[in-house]
Amino acid sequence: MHESRDDVAVFVPGIDAPSTVACLRSLRPRGIRTIVGSESAATPSAVSRYCDEFVRLPDPTTELAAYGDALLSIARRSDVETIIPVREEDIYSLARNREAFAAEVATPWPTFETLRQVQDRLELFAAADRAGVAAPDTALLEEWDDWDSETIVKPRYSVATPEYLGSRFDRVEVGSTAYQTPGEPPNAAACIEARGHVPLVQERIPDSREYGFFALYDRGEAVATFQHCQRRGWEYCGGPSAYRESIYLPELEADGRALLDELEWHGLAMV
């Protein structure tokens, strides 16, 4: 146990997935004060013994601009050293206004130009191709023509923002992964209207296992890496794990590093 310092704190957004609590359990025993912020005081991390302070924030799914402003206000506190992003809305808000945050705290996250390559999945799969990393066959909904095979329809963008969706960003749901019945193509026009953009279609890989490669990068160089295999998830289409175990696969390490190297990543990442 390290001696606690009241003048050094790290802010971690509070979410329902275990990510926030995992961060707190790493930081607090090392003497670093932890601040949790969320739109809900019922988030698990808010009542963790490793949480020193809770701050109520706007909901980023409905008030993204206000959420970004609130994060910047927290960054201006004299005790806050940095902010750890744990979801797409966090990293978007931080990267989009990176210069302003850099004047206040350490910024272990990528530039917005780099982030856009990841949050736009078409650009992400193009980067994977350049890096020699295999990916499922993927195309825009309007371009896909093999509806007899098993496919999924998923958002092109991982977060609804004006940069990605234009003026409609706050009036639509980008949607989640939808499984298509072979031989039954979706109504493309209705799907595009509902999601506010042209989504992607991918071949479905019939394997319930999900592998994750995690890394901390410093300006294109890997500092630390970790892997896990999700054995069970809360939903069939993915999302938080209900049960997972740490593993090590050399080919997963190679692919994860290849993609993040291609992106010249900075900060935390999961592949």
Kind and range of the H or E element at 190?
helix 188-195
Q: What is the pLDDT along the chain (271 residues), one digit of tens a residue?
A: 556 667 899 999 999 888 899 999 999 999 999 999 999 999 999 999 999 999 999 999 889 999 999 999 999 999 999 999 999 999 999 999 999 999 999 999 999 999 999 999 999 999 999 999 999 999 999 999 999 999 999 999 999 888 898 876 666 677 788 899 999 999 999 999 888 899 999 999 887 778 999 999 999 999 999 999 988 877 766 667 778 899 999 999 999 999 999 999 999 999 9
248 and 128 within one domain: yes
122 and 245 within one domain: yes
Could you give the 3-state DSSP secondary structure of residue 123? helix
Burial 147-167, CB ≥16 within 10 A → b, else e: eeeebbbbbbbbbbbeebbee
147 and 23 within one domain: no
Could you list the beta-strand ranges (E) of 76-120.
Answer: 80-83
180 and 159 within one domain: yes
45 and 160 within one domain: no
What's the CA angle centered on 153, arms 242 and 226, to 5 degrees?
A: 40
Among residues 179, 203, 227, the one where a domain terminates is: 203
Domain that holds residue 63: 5-107
What is the rounded distance in angstroms from the CA atom of residue 271 to the CA atom of residue 265? Answer: 12
153 and 221 within one domain: no
